[in-house]
């Protein structure tokens, strides 16, 4: 906060109004409500917003209040609060239900948490660009931004790179195989030049269709011809590469833009989005509950702006909303960074060294932000530099020696006109090159010696200065290149190749024909100054409702769980217990024998029937062995192995915990998926516990959820026509027909 701005905020009058009547705590004065789940699991309700409501009402009051503000005259015919809430739920309105928020504390097995996090609600649009820095540029001390849309990142993460056509390595010899003949594996092996085991593996994998007869496997020649004509492709997995990419994030302590890595990414379904445009031009589409870094800390878009969606999709927000943190500006241009380090007693030279810029660049930016050193501050810095030094004064003789001493004392770095070494030796070489460039271009006919262009000529050192400084001021070492050729030679690191080309007697005009390939960066070539970025702030210029789109989200490695997206600094919506910084507790989920389930034949994601007792006992013994690894984990921690490495051997039935904040609309969406009979039993137990906690807080909304969402049924167009006409479903898709039969049973048809 800028000190001069603090006074203005303090001067703003705040009218603190008492409540109109008696208020009631919806949690009855309790600090938290808890429900125990399984042996070690827990669901706890920590807080509710609103916490206080008028006496005689529940938190449902906030839904009614928001709806009547939003819809104005449109709801006056609905007099009762219960009728209005049920109307909103029946017609799938969302904004009024987002006015109620819950904060939970969850303790659950990791395998449940991984399913849980797939249904996070704070999401970004698919065209959101993630900001990465290329590692090659970082090794040279610079930043080179590489943007990738989160939708493409998700596709690469899940499916890998685009398929690459794969040619068959060996001849297929179709001329030796009759399409209407049947061959044993050994016969086909001799004809097509493949190992018998290779052909058997192809049959097992389904690449070749074989048939068994008399204890042997036979393949028809037509099957070999089919395989020979088939086009195959390979898809390169990308997760390991994507995990190593350096994603920009903000150090929340210093404000510096640093790096993190992605740990997971997922799609979160079609959701309503708001397009937020800042004054600096940054634009991002996100859900109203996505958290962003603001001047007031981490806040959801809805909380930061008091976002309201009205009739006709018009959007209203508070003009006094805090400024949002954005990607970053060069650290030496950041008023926040300069002010912070000036207050810490840094002088200009120290700031310049830390930023990798010149002394005068820092002075210019101090002046731009009105942060020049006062005479008193300069005196303090000067005194600090001279503290502990002693001087002896004596009268010098006025002779030739004295004049020489005066000259040396007033020249170079000793002169009071010295500018801090701005004119370095490299700068002197550049100035000299500029002075003699006209002579060089005249000798070369004012044309590029490589391509003949006369545009944007540069005087190029044939033997680079970094390679041979002794020829830096040798005019015979200069030649004329156009801007394009000069830039390409440096960009592709071809300086030494160009030197070798000319020394071998070749003409410069032949260079690009003989040397088209880029070369690796020479070790002796100097690197540029490091580029450091600081987050800065920008206020909202506009918010629009963007409609509904497919959304995505990702999780990143700590300690700061944020990342840069379209210039905004945004956060994960979950902050989980970190085994990187803390020792994992000895808690495991171990199902009872009767709860061990058999894999469902219809549902690939779960199980339904109980497993036979012998196999269930075997599974339980397996878990005992897995859980015994905790002793080894604790032993390695005690020996000093880093926690971030020791944790990787722990099983997914160990417990983790987090604090989770969500609004009522998105909570109902989550519960509709995880209370469903098709959900895994373990996460269903946690979802049921959450619903049991929120039901007394919002009894009318909970009843509407059961009536119009959880207990309802979606019918497709084909299913509506089948009911209307009394005909079978108009599709041959087996899955759709099976789902239709299930719905008919529920409907009693």
Half-sphere exposure of 611 (CA within 13 A, CB side): 18
Which residues is 472 bridged to in the sheet? none
Which residues is 283 bridged to in the sheet? 277
Tell me whether the omega of the peptide bond preceding residue 559 falls within 30 degrees of 0, making it cis.
yes
Residue indicated by tokens 């700031």: 351
Neighbours of 652 (CB within 10 A): 13
Residues 6+ positions from 217 with CB-CB distance below 8 Å: 184, 185, 200, 203, 210, 211
Write out the two tokens for 203.
């049959």
Rounded Cα gap, residues 614 and 146, in angstroms: 55
Rounded Cα gap, residues 248 and 563, in angstroms: 6
Where are the alpha helices (H) located in 193-324, listed in sequence order? 196-205, 221-229, 239-244, 301-305
Give the residue among 91, 83, 81 at the shortest CA–CA distance from 708: 91
b/e per residue 257-296 (b: at least 16 CB within 10 A): bbbbebeebbbbeebbbbbbebebebbbbbbbbbbbbbee
HEC readout, 33-71: EEEEECCCEEEEEEEEECCEEECCCCCHHHHHHHHHHHH
Let me know: does 587 contact 656? Beta carbons within 8 Å: no
Reduced to 3 states (helix: H, G, I; strand: E, B; else coil), residue 120 is coil
Burial environment of residue 614 by CB neighbours within 10 A (0 to 12, 13 to 18, 19 or more): exposed
Pick the catalytic residue from 248, 291, 333, 674.
674
HEC readout, 585-652: CCCECCCCHHHCEEECCCCCCCEEEECCHHHHHHHHHHHHHHHCHHHHHHHHHHCCCCHHHHHHHCCC
Alpha-carbon separation of residue 455 from 184, 434, 443, 448 (angstroms)? 72, 16, 16, 8
Rounded Cα gap, residues 625 and 561, in angstroms: 34
b/e per residue 725-749 (b: at least 16 CB within 10 A): eeeebeeeeeeeeeebeebeeeeee
Let me know: does 596 contact 611? Beta carbons within 8 Å: yes
Rounded Cα gap, residues 482 and 436, in angstroms: 16
Neighbours of 508 (CB within 10 A): 20
- Helix (H), strand (E) at residue 637: helix 629-638
Give the residue among 723, 699, 558, 292 at the shortest CA–CA distance from 743: 723
Q: What angle do CA 590, 592, 596 make, to 5 degrees?
A: 95
Rounded Cα gap, residues 704 and 665, in angstroms: 12
Residue indicated by tokens 């302590």: 253
Q: Is 587 a catalytic residue?
A: no
Rg (CA), the chain: 36
Catalytic residues: 674
């Amino acid at each position: 906060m800028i000190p001069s701005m603090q006074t203005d905020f303090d001067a703003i009058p705040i009218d603190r109004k008492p409540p109109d009547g008696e208020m009631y705590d919806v949690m009855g004065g309790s600090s938290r409500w808890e429900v125990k789940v399984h042996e070690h699991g827990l669901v706890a309700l920590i807080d509710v917003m609103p916490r206080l409501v008028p006496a005689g009402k529940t938190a449902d009051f906030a839904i009614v209040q928001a709806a009547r503000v939003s819809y104005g005259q449109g709801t006056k015919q609905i007099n009762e609060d219960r009728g209005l809430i049920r109307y909103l739920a029946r017609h799938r309105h969302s904004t009024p239900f987002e006015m109620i928020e819950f904060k939970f504390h969850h303790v659950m097995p990791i395998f449940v948490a991984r399913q849980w996090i797939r249904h996070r609600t704070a999401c970004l649009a698919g065209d959101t660009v993630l900001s990465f820095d290329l590692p090659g540029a970082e090794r040279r001390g610079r930043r080179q931004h590489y943007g990738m849309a989160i939708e493409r990142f998700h596709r690469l993460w899940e499916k890998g790179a685009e398929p690459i056509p794969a040619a068959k390595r060996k001849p297929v010899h179709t001329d030796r195989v009759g399409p209407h003949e049947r061959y044993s594996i050994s016969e086909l092996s001799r004809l097509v030049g493949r190992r018998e085991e290779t052909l058997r593996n192809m049959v097992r994998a389904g690449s070749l269709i074989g048939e068994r007869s008399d204890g042997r496997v036979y393949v028809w020649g037509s099957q070999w011809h089919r395989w020979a004509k088939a086009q195959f492709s390979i898809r390169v997995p990308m997760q390991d590469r994507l995990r190593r990419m350096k994603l920009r994030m903000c150090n929340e302590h210093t404000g510096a833009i640093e790096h993190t890595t992605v740990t997971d990414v997922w799609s979160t379904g079609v959701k309503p989005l708001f397009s937020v445009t800042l004054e600096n031009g940054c634009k991002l589409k996100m859900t109203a509950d996505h958290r962003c870094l603001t001047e007031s800390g981490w806040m959801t878009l809805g909380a930061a702006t008091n976002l309201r969606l009205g009739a006709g999709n018009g959007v209203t927000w508070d003009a006094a909303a805090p400024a949002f943190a954005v990607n970053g500006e060069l650290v030496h241009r950041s008023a926040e960074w300069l002010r912070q380090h000036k207050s810490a007693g840094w002088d200009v030279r120290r700031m310049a060294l830390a930023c990798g810029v010149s002394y005068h660049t820092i002075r210019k930016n101090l002046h731009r932000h009105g942060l020049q050193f006062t005479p008193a501050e300069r005196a303090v810095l000067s005194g600090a530099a001279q503290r502990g030094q002693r001087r002896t004064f004596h009268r010098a003789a006025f002779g030739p020696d004295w004049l020489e001493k005066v000259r040396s004392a007033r020249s170079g770095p000793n002169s009071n006109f010295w500018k801090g070494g701005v004119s370095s030796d490299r700068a002197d070489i550049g100035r000299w090159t500029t002075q003699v460039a006209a002579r060089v271009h005249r000798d070369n006919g004012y044309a590029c010696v490589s391509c003949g262009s006369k545009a944007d000529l540069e005087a190029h050192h044939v033997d680079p200065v970094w390679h041979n400084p002794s020829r830096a001021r040798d005019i015979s070492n200069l030649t004329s290149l156009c801007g394009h050729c000069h830039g390409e030679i440096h960009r592709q690191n071809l300086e030494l190749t160009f030197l070798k080309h000319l020394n071998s007697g070749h003409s410069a005009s032949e260079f690009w024909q003989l040397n088209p390939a880029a070369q690796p960066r020479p070790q002796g070539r100097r690197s540029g100054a490091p580029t450091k970025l600081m987050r800065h702030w920008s206020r909202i210029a506009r918010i629009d409702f963007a409609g509904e789109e497919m959304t995505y989200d990702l999780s990143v490695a700590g300690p700061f769980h944020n990342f840069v997206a379209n210039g905004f600094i945004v956060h994960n919506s979950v902050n989980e217990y970190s085994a990187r910084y803390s020792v994992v507790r000895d808690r495991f989920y171990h199902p009872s024998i009767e709860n061990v389930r058999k894999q469902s034949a219809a549902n690939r994601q779960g199980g339904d029937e109980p497993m036979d007792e012998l196999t269930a006992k075997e599974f339980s013994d397996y878990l005992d062995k897995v859980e015994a690894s905790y002793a080894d984990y604790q032993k390695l921690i005690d020996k000093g192995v880093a926690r971030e490495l020791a944790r990787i051997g722990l099983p997914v039935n160990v417990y983790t915990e987090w604090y989770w904040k969500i609004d009522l609309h998105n909570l109902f969406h989550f519960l509709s998926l995880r209370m469903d009979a098709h959900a895994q039993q373990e996460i269903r137990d946690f979802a049921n516990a959450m619903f049991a906690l929120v039901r007394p807080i919002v009894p009318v909304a909970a009843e509407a959820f059961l009536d119009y969402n959880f207990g309802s049924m979606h019918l497709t167009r084909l299913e509506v026509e089948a009911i209307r006409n009394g005909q079978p479903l108009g599709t041959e898709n087996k899955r759709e027909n099976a789902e239709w039969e299930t719905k008919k049973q529920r409907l009693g048809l």
